[in-house]
Structure 1
Amino acid sequence: MAKAASSKNTLILPEKSSVALVYRLETGKAVALAKKVADYLKENGYVVFTGPDQKLIPGTKAAKTKKQLDALKLVIVLGGDGTYLRAVRILEGRNIPILGFNMGSLGFLTAHSSDHTFEVIEAALHGKMELRPRSMIVAQVLRKGRSRGEFHALNDMVIERGSMSQLINTSIYSDKFLVSEVKADGFIVASPSGSTAYNLAAGGPILHPESPVFVVTAVAPHSLTSRPLIVPDKSTLSFKLDGKTAKAHFIVDGQKVTELSADDEVVVTRSCYDHWMVREPEHNYFTLLREKLKFGDRS
């Protein structure tokens, strides 16, 4: 597993380091910027790769093999938060830092403006950027006690009813203790990073990104007594559908990964992997909240 070079959480990129570019697929602006960034990095002595499942950026190599991905020292994302989450999936738990530039709308994960792309990259190349850890979550999907798959997420995991199904009846457990039995359209388990995504839209709380907790939020619950629940991330959460629920979708960071039935159990814990974000030393989370969400704005 490749490790990010760091000294006191400062990003260090020696010359000839491997850097991958992941860009927003559907916009020509992102592709054009990716070409310019690739040229800039090569001029400064770096080996540049295009991330998997993208059109190859001219003058770069395609990052396809495990060896190439393991060797990466930095991933640069040009897009929105969806593009950033795609880059996280590509890394498959490798603790390689990501530097994100916002070319979308909100941009919580891609916190740097694309208007300052080259100034920020130059700062990163000269050891002037910091690495900030973010916790991730992992889920095991079990069927009759046997694993059907393991899934890691930076933002959230969602159990939701299909378009033709009724409300989901779900039992929620924490460390084997019953929390509640809830009927709802779905359930969100969000990390602190993901608390400002679907969780917030569903009425869940904002969590500071360094908080060692998860939040469980029901989507449109069939009871006014169902409220978001914050639990320590050292806890083990599990979700079991009752026999009246025919099917449910299981979604990881916005991507459907499998269908669930009453024979399945979803067990959620903190991932053994942390994600590393590249941030300016003066980056302040509360400034980001005010800029992106107009947090506390009375006007």
Structure 2
Amino acid sequence: MAKQKLSLKDNKNIALVYRLQTAEAVTLAKKIAVWLKEKGYAVYTAPQQKAIAGTKAITTQANLKKMGLIIALGGDGTYLRAVRILEGAQIPIVGINMGSLGFLTGNRAEDAFKVIDETLQDKMDLRPRSMIHTLIRRKGKVRAEFHALNDVVIERGSGSHLISTAIYSEKFLVSEVKADGFIIASPTGSTAYNLAAGGPILHPEAKVFVVTPVAPHSLTSRPLIFPDDLQLSFKTDSRTRVAQVIVDGQKEAELTPDDELVIQRSTYDHWVVRSPSHNYFNLLREKLKFGDRA
């Protein structure tokens, strides 16, 4: 996937997404809003949060799609919320880390103005990241549909029983597995819940998914990597009353034995803003201590 240059010459609309209920994020958002307006940019506050003083609140998806850039101030959860708000709109996001890990929001808060200024001067690259398209079908009819940057998780509901799930690839049975749940992760999401559950790290430009069972009942149930041009489907059996579907950390739906959960690569890519000198393996070493000796 080829990188592109980011240019805001023809679109001076910028929206802010900030970490909710965090005074530091609100304070920084206010300072950035004033600074951007002084530079001649139109500054907006993205939906689902209180408008920052001096900015305009975005109230419709149509208005949101007019933005040239999103600035996310917070942790990875804030970044994923910004992606979710976009609903597939291919608007680049620059992330400023005000959380703990900050794998997606890779820029430090103290560097915020420098990073944003370099972005405005067209000194940054846009790098595409594949997304996951998920739909839930019941008796042939689509009843829910989602896009995820990181992962889609199927986990057991309020009951204590394992989830018995059949996994299919292009309608061919792959495996029948009993587990606490399943993680379907994109390359971007491979360093999140997937990694914690024992799944592999995928290079962010790899054209694959990984399916990782959570606490499987069998020792032979291991993570599986699939080309992302395949369609995967998951069906729970009658012993699983209800399972939960979690999309990028947010509960979105319930899955019953009458449902089929279908996974495929989204037709949308997400564009991340990166410095031309950005190196993914340096990020792994910095954030995850990858390769460090114990």
Measured against the shorter chain, the TM-score band is over 0.9
SS in 2 for 1:290: helix
Q: Which runs of 5+ in 1 are unaligned?
A: 1-6
SS in 2 for 1:72: coil
Partner of 1:102: 97
Shift of 1:53: 1.4
Answer yes or no: is 1:283 the counterpart of 2:268: no
Whole-Å separation in 2 of the counterparts to 1:178 and 1:67? 41
Deviations, residues 238-265 of structure 1 (Å, cap 9, x unaligned): 0000111111001100111111110000
Partner of 1:235: 230
Match of 2:165 among 157, 165, 170: 170
Shift of 1:15: 6.9
Kept after mapping to 1: 8 A contact 2:25/2:73: yes
Q: What one-letter code is carried by the residue in structure 1 that aligns with 2:260?
A: E
Whole-Å separation in 1 of the counterparts to 2:82 and 2:107? 16
Kept after mapping to 2: 8 A contact 1:165/1:247: no
SS in 1 for 2:20: coil
Match of 1:20 among 1, 15, 23: 15
Kept after mapping to 2: 8 A contact 1:74/1:96: yes
Answer yes or no: is 1:225 the counterpart of 2:232: no
Kept after mapping to 2: 8 A contact 1:16/1:47: no
Q: What one-letter code is carried by the residue in structure 1 that aligns with 2:46?
A: G
Partner of 2:186: 191
Answer yes or no: is 1:157 the counterpart of 2:148: no
Kept after mapping to 2: 8 A contact 1:214/1:231: yes
Whole-Å separation in 2 of the counterparts to 1:67 and 1:267? 28
1:250–1:8 CA distance, 2 compared to 1 (3 A):
closer
Whole-Å separation in 2 of the counterparts to 1:200 and 1:161? 20
CA RMSD of aligned residues (A): 1.2
Q: Is the deviation greater in 156-165 or in 111-120?
A: 156-165
Whole-Å separation in 2 of the counterparts to 1:192 and 1:28? 32
Shift of 1:131: 0.2
Answer yes or no: is 1:296 the counterpart of 2:270: no
Whole-Å separation in 2 of the counterparts to 1:208 and 1:26? 33
User: Percent of pairs identical after alignment?
Assistant: 67
Q: What one-letter code is carried by the residue in structure 2 that aligns with 1:90?
A: I
Whole-Å separation in 1 of the counterparts to 2:14 and 2:175? 46
Kept after mapping to 1: 8 A contact 2:11/2:68: no
Q: Which runs of 5+ in 2 are unaligned?
A: none
Partner of 2:115: 120
1:220–1:8 CA distance, 2 compared to 1 (3 A):
closer
Shift of 1:165: 3.5
Shift of 1:66: 2.6
Shift of 1:97: 0.2
| TM-score normalized with structure 1 length | 0.96
| TM-score normalized with structure 2 length | 0.98
SS in 1 for 2:290: coil
Partner of 1:111: 106
Shift of 1:96: 0.3
Partner of 1:52: 47
Partner of 2:245: 250
SS in 1 for 2:68: strand
Whole-Å separation in 2 of the counterparts to 1:95 and 1:268? 20
Deviations, residues 260-286 of structure 1 (Å, cap 9, x unaligned): 110000010000000000000000000
Partner of 1:68: 63
